[in-house]
Structure 1
Amino acid sequence: MPLDNTETIAAIATPPGTGGIGIIRISGPASIGIACRLFHRKGIAGPAASHDLLSHRLTLGHICDPASGEILDEVLVVAMRSPRSFTGEDVVEIQAHGGPWLLRSILALVLDQGARLAEPGEFTRRAFLSGRMDLTQAEGMMDLIEARTSAARKMGSALLRGELGMEVSRLREALLELATRMAAEIDFPDDVGDLVDEGQVLQDLQEYYLPELRRLIRMGENGVRLREGLRIVIAGLPNAGKSSVMNRLLAMDRSIVTDIPGTTRDLVEEPLNLAGLPFVLTDTAGIRDSSDPIERMGVERAMESIRSADCVLLVMDARRGADREICLLEETIRSSPYLLVMNKKDLVDDCDAIALPSSWKPAARVSLSARSGEGMDALRKALTDLAGFSEVQHAALPNLRHRAAFERAAEALERVRAGMLSGHFWDLLSVDLHTAIQALGNVLGENADPDLLDRIFSGFCIGK
Structure 2
Amino acid sequence: MLAGDTIMALSSGALPSGVAVIRLSGPRVREAFLYLAGELPVPRTMALRRIGADTQLDQGLVVWFPGPHSFTGEDCAEFHVHGSPAGVKAILRSLNTFGIRLAGPGEFTRRAFENGKLDLIAVEGLGDLLSAETEKQRQQALARYDGRLTERVETWRDVLLDLRAEIEARLDFSDEGDVTEELPSSFVDELANLKNSLVEALASINSGRIVREGVRVALAGAPNAGKSSLINALSKSDIAIVSDEAGTTRDVREVPLDIGGQLFILLDLAGLRETDSRAEAEGIRRAERAIQDADILLWLEAPDTEVALQPATNATVVRIGTKSDLGPTGSYDLQISTATGFGLDALVDRLRAIGENLVGGEPSLVSHERDRLGLEQAVSAVDEAVLYHSNWELAAEALRHASLALERMIGRVDAEQVLDRLFVSFCIGK
- Tell me the TM-score normalised to structure 2 length: 0.92
What SS is found at the alignment partner of 1:333? Answer: coil
Question: Given that residues 179 and 430 in structure 1 are in contact (C-alpha distance below 8 angstroms), is that contact kept between their aligned partners in structure 2?
Answer: yes
Q: Which residue of 1 aligns with 2:223?
A: 238
Aligned AA (1:342):
G
1:387-433 Cα distance to aligned partner (Å, 9 max, x none):
3355355443331112211111111111112223xx4x111111110
Q: Find the counterpart in structure 2 of residue 274 from structure 1.
A: 259
After TM superposition, the structure 1 = structure 2 runs for residues 369-408 of structure 1, keeping only pairs within 5 Å, are: 369-387=337-355, 388-408=357-377
Equivalent position of 2:24 in the other structure: 26
Match of 1:135 in 2: 120
1:310-350 CA deviation, whole Å, 9 max, x = no partner? Answer: 33211012577xx8x44xx12x234543221122333445x
Please report how far the alpha carbon of residue 129 of structure 1 lies from its aligned counterpart in structure 2 after TM superposition: 2.3
Q: CA deviation at 1:225?
A: 2.3
Q: Out of 406-415 and 185-194, give the one that drifted further.
A: 185-194
How much does 1:242 deviate? Answer: 1.5
Q: 1:258 offset after TM fit, Å?
A: 3.0
Counterpart contact for 1:53–1:79, Cα < 8 Å: yes
Instruction: Establish whether residue 36 from structure 1 lines up as the match of residue 22 from structure 2.
Output: no
Residue 461 of structure 1 corresponds to which residue in structure 2? 427
- Structure 1 residues without counterparts, runs of 5 or longer: 40-47, 357-364
Change (3 A) 1:198 1:137: same
Match of 1:413 in 2: 382
Q: Give the SS at the match of 2:160.
A: helix
CA contact 1:244–1:255 (8 Å) conserved in 2? yes
Residue matched to 2:402:
436
- Rounded Cα–Cα distance in structure 1 between residues aligned with 2:367 and 2:244: 46
Task: Name which of 291, 301, 307 aligns with 1:316.
Answer: 301
Q: Return the letter of the residue paired with 1:194.
A: T
- Give the distance between the partners of 1:456 and 1:290, measured in 2 at CA: 43
Deviation at 1:165, TM superposition (A): 0.7
Partner of 2:319: 340
Cα distance in structure 2, aligned partners of 1:195 and 1:453: 45
Matched residue type, 1:337: T
Which whole-Å deviations, capped at 9, do the CAs of 1:67-98 have from their partners, x for residues lacking one? xx221101211111223211122211111111
Residue 147 (structure 1) shift:
0.8
* Kept in 2: contact 1:246–1:281 (CA 8 A): yes
C-alpha spacing 1:202/1:284, structure 2 compared with 1 (3 Å)? same
* 1:27-176 correspondence to structure 2 within 5 Å: 27-39=25-37, 48-49=38-39, 52-64=40-52, 66=53, 69-176=54-161
Q: Does 1:7 align with 2:5?
A: yes
Question: What amino acid sits opposite 2:13 in the alignment?
Answer: P
Preserved contact between residue 322 and residue 335 of structure 2 (Cα < 8 Å):
yes
The amino acid across from 2:45 in the alignment is R
- Which residue identity is paired with 1:461? C
Is the contact between residue 219 and residue 300 of structure 2 (CA under 8 Å) also seen in structure 1? Answer: yes
Which of 192, 215, 229 matches 2:200? 215
Which residue identity lines up with residue 185 of structure 1 in the other structure?
A: R
Residues 408 and 392 of structure 1: CA distance in aligned 2, closer, same or farther (over 3 Å) = farther
Tell me the secondary structure at the aligned position of residue 43 of structure 2. Answer: coil
C-alpha distance in structure 2 between counterparts of 1:9 and 1:261, whole Å: 56
1:452 aligned residue (412, 418, 421): 418
CA distance in 2, matches of 1:377, 1:211: 41
Residues in 2 aligned to 1:314 and 1:157: alpha-carbon distance in whole angstroms: 36
Distance in 1 (alpha carbons) for counterparts of 2:281 and 2:74: 61
SS class of match (1:70): coil
Tell me the amino acid that sits aligned with residue 370 of structure 1: T
**Partner amino acid, structure 2, of 1:382:** R
C-alpha contact 1:158 1:394 (8 A) present in aligned 2: no
Q: Secondary structure at the match of 1:410?
A: helix
One-letter amino acid matched to 1:377: D
Say whether the 8 Å CA contact 1:34–1:114 is kept in structure 2: no
Render the CA deviation track for 1:233-288: whole Å, top value 9, x for unaligned.
Answer: 21101222111221122111222223333333333322222111112212122212
Length-normalised TM-score, structure 1: 0.86
- Decide whether aligned partners of structure 1 residues 393 and 278 sit closer, same or farther in structure 2, where only a CA change above 3 A counts: farther
Give the number of equivalent residue pairs: 428
Determine the C-alpha separation between the residues in 1 that align with 2:361 and 2:381.
Answer: 27
Structure 2, gaps ≥5 residues long: none
Provide the C-alpha distance between the structure 2 equivalents of 1:55 and 1:196, rounded to a whole number of angstroms.
Answer: 57
1:402 and 1:443 in contact (8 A); partners too: yes
Contact residue 158 and residue 395 of structure 1 kept, 8 A: no
Match of 2:360, SS? coil
